[in-house]
Amino acid sequence: MSNVASEKIAELDLSKEFSEIFDQEDGIKSFKFFINGVWERGQQKDPLRSPVDDSLIGYVYRSSVEDVDRAVRTAKENQYKIREIAGIERIELMEEARHLLMEHEEDFIKVLMLEGGKTKEGAKGEIESLYLRMKLTMEDARKIFGEYLPGDWSKDTAQKIALVIREPVGVVAAIGPFNYPLYIPASKIIPALLAANSVVVKPTSETPLSTMMFVQILNLAGFPKGTINLVTGPGSIIGNALASHKDVGMISFTGSTATGRAISSVAGIKKLHLELGGKAYCIVLADADLKMAAKKIAAGALSNAGQRCDAISAVLPVKEVADKLVELIVEEVRNWKLGNPLLDPTVKVGPVISRGAAERIKSLIDDAIEKGAKALIGGRVNGTYVEPTVLYDVPESARILWEEIFGPVIPIHKVNSVDEALNIARRSEYGLDSCVFGNNFYELWKVAKGLQVGEVTINDMPKHGLGYFPFGGNKNSGTGREGVGYSIDEMTVLKTIVFNLEPAQLGKKVIR
């Protein structure tokens, strides 16, 4: 532990309902993990700093591999408790949790801004998305049904019928990212519990507090002891121990493609839902509404400081409109103020998650400029703060045209035709989101059909939001689909029950 006397200590006052999740000594909080209904301390703890000003938020107790094993065994042993609860009661528990979340909105806003550098508007937006997701639990839960299959469509099953039903997978491991540390883990936990699974969640080490607080909300709402557990620590150790555990029935992970590959390599035979890296190409056609496109492109690239898997990550305008579009984009970007969101409520772009992340983004900008791109605005980095940046005439050889940026940068590469734009987009290793702006139906349809991605948005920025529309990746962007009603499918397994009706002579006769 560092010398706290010389540290800048962040101010974080939380409501008494969250007092169980941390210890406090000399004004410094140490946050715990949660197993079998108890918030526990570990043998080791790691410092947690704010990307806003590098202040010390506190420390986080690190779970051990043995703690992971206890958490999974606890989840497995207690899953029967939630499976025995009627579906309507699970919905009522979730509704109680939603009301508790609403009561403590200010606590969550403070934490999201402090631990992740979000603007107040961004923090409120994340919480409001979660309110809506929880409100739509009935839509999620009603997907848990099966179907009746008469056997008389085949001679060998004419005397039989079958029921195909959905059952929980058992223990769901939910592993979340730093960029939406409340909403994304919650959007895994909610359908898992509604489908009568138990859960072990591992928040990211960069932004663990809002996930911890959400687990406490579920605990206070009355979910059965042992059905929701939380472990902490580095992904390379704790994440691997969780992913490889033989009693985990399904892994739901959102994060980088590299980490997704690592999880796949140790997971063994179990269900995997992986929402990984993205490179959302934005194609702008000659008949597009350029003013609208520029506004949407700026928002799609700069929201949450560009730290979104569905962020617009490269713009491919046709040459006829490229110069005018770029001029309008630069005008829009000037409205996106960079700064400390804790001190200035008018700030629209806060810090990225770490100095390391900022340095990586700067290396992409520098590489593009060295290869001929022009920085029309921005381009500078100071600590964790990356200026909103527009790069024009980015050559195909530039890394930034192919790599995920995860920062507030808009690279623009002019193309001669729609086919050239599609060719570039299809060469990407990623396949999560893309978008296209235009007015000709046939051209829009050509682009939408030609892109190899999980979701194409027409005349708007890609935005998963609360997941009302299903989303997920192709290629190196992952497997499976997430969203209201669709996550349930991922977290259940099909069971076929076949009835032989021949003894009662109830089956259909086959005339030979």
Q: What are the CA-CA distances from residue 364 to residues 205, 278, 357, 370, 424 (Å)?
A: 25, 16, 11, 10, 18
| Per-residue tokens: 221 | 């709402």
The CA distance from 248 to 239, in Å, is: 12
Measured from the Cβ of residue 124, the count of other Cβ atoms closer than 10 Å reads 16
Identify whether the C-beta of residue 268 lies closer than 8 Å to the C-beta of residue 246: yes
Under DSSP, is residue 248 helix (H, G, I), strand (E, B) or coil?
coil
Type of residue numbered 5: A
276-313 in b/e form (b: 16+ CB < 10 A) is: bbbbbbbbbbbebebeebbbbbbbbbbbbbbbbbbbbb
DSSP alpha helices (H): ranges in 25-86? 65-83
Indicate which residue of 275, 332, 403, 404 is catalytic: 275
Write the CB contacts of 406 (distance below 8 Å, at least 6 apart in sequence).
Answer: 179, 306, 307, 308, 311, 352, 357, 361
Q: What is the pTM of this model?
A: 0.94
Q: What residue ranges in 332-460 does DSSP mark as E strands?
A: 374-377, 381-382, 385-386, 389-392, 409-411, 430-431, 433-437, 455-458
Q: Is there a catalytic annotation at residue 309?
A: yes
Active site residue 359: no
- Give the span between the Cα atoms of 250 and 168, in whole angstroms: 10
- Distance between CA 126 and CA 105 in Å, rounded? 11
Q: For the chain, 512 residues long, give each residue's pLDDT as a single digit of tens.
A: 445 556 799 999 999 999 999 999 988 999 999 999 999 999 999 999 999 999 999 999 999 999 999 999 999 999 999 999 999 999 999 999 999 999 999 999 999 999 999 999 999 999 999 999 998 887 778 777 789 999 888 888 888 999 999 999 999 999 999 999 999 999 999 999 999 999 999 999 999 999 999 999 999 999 999 999 999 999 999 999 999 999 999 999 999 999 999 999 999 999 999 999 999 999 999 999 999 999 999 999 999 999 999 999 999 999 999 999 999 999 999 999 999 999 999 999 999 999 999 999 999 999 999 999 999 999 999 999 999 999 999 999 999 999 999 999 999 999 999 999 999 999 999 999 999 999 999 999 999 999 999 999 999 999 998 888 999 999 999 999 988 888 888 999 999 999 999 888 877 776 66
Helical spans, DSSP H, in 283-439: 290-302, 319-333, 355-370, 418-427
Burial of residue 459 (CB within 10 Å: 0-12, 13-18, 19+) is middle
**Domains of the chain, earliest start first:** 67-276+481-492 (3.40.605.10), 280-458 (3.40.309.10)
Q: Is 59 helix (H, G, I), strand (E, B) or coil?
A: strand
Give the β-pairing of 171-175 and 478-479.
Answer: unpaired
Amino acid (one-letter) located at 11:
E
Give the HSE-up count for residue 307: Cα atoms under 13 Å, Cβ half-sphere: 26
Indicate which residue of 115, 126, 282, 309 is catalytic: 309
What's the token pair of residue 223?
């979910």
